[in-house]
Amino acid sequence: MEEVRRVVPFECRRCWHVWEEEYLVRYGEDRHGNERVVWSKDGITVPPPTEGMICPRCHCQQATTFPDGYLRRHPELIPSQEPAKPDDKPLLSPVPKRQRYL
């Protein structure tokens, strides 16, 4: 039985979160000579990844997959692990201040 590690990229259609999940795919034949493909994740047999995966951020079932190697060609889609730095500039309102009348 041949084993292949596959990394499948996903994107949530609700919150636009992008993530990857790693699977172990085993190709072989059953006892009748038919082709057999078994997907497993963390040692547990799972169904093949398809549309409808659950988003780890918003728990929506509207996630879709990308083609193989898509995120390697588009690294800007992968969120950074570091939190964004706060902006040091104060927020300025475009509305002028009103004069106070006493």
The structural domains of the chain, with segments of one domain joined by +, span 2-77
Q: What is the pLDDT of residue 38?
A: 92
pLDDT at 100 over 70: yes
How much is the average pLDDT of 61-78?
Answer: 77
Q: What is the pLDDT of residue 76?
A: 72
Q: What is the pLDDT of residue 85?
A: 75
pLDDT: which is higher, 68 or 21: 21
pLDDT: which is higher, 78 or 45: 45
pLDDT tens digits, one per residue of 21-36: 899 999 998 889 899 9
Tokens of 41: 């994740």
